[in-house]
Amino acid sequence: MKKILVTLLLCAAGITALAQENKTPEQQEKEFYEAIENQVTRLTEMLELDDAQVFYLDSILTHDYKCMQDEFGDMSAAKVSNSDLFYAVQDKWMEQIYQSVHKILSEEQWNKYLKAGAARDKKAREKRAAKKNK
């Protein structure tokens, strides 16, 4: 079964973070954009996106993942070690992606996207937020 964008990229981000210690910045950047391209391709096929939707999806993912990556880098440089803070940043950007993708999909595409895992991921973010606010 195809996994949703969020799960795959988050796993890839974690693995990539560990592996990037031995890679040049150019290699890291190339892998970053390849991961986005793979997700755009997968979602294009799964949701049957038109050219405009592909453009917007690529723009959304590139911008938001880059911002998330930059925040993670800033936190790492500041020697932040609290994993809850990293999850908070991750959840913030994943929610941004969720909301942005919703705007570019038709109702049928959105329902398919939710069934592919986005609804489960949204629920997990909400659960973490509720736990944090207790």
For the chain, the domains span 5-132
Answer left, alpha or beta for residue 22, where phi above 0 means left and psi between -120 and 50 means alpha.
alpha
Rounded percentage of the chain residues whose pLDDT exceeds 90: 73
Cβ atoms of 5 and 39 closer than 8 Å: yes
pLDDT value, residue 22: 77
Report pLDDT digits (tens) over 9-40: 454 455 445 455 678 989 989 999 999 999 99
Report pLDDT digits (tens) over 55-105: 999 999 999 999 999 999 999 999 998 888 999 999 999 999 999 999 999
Chain CA centroid to CA 35, Å: 10
pTM: 0.80
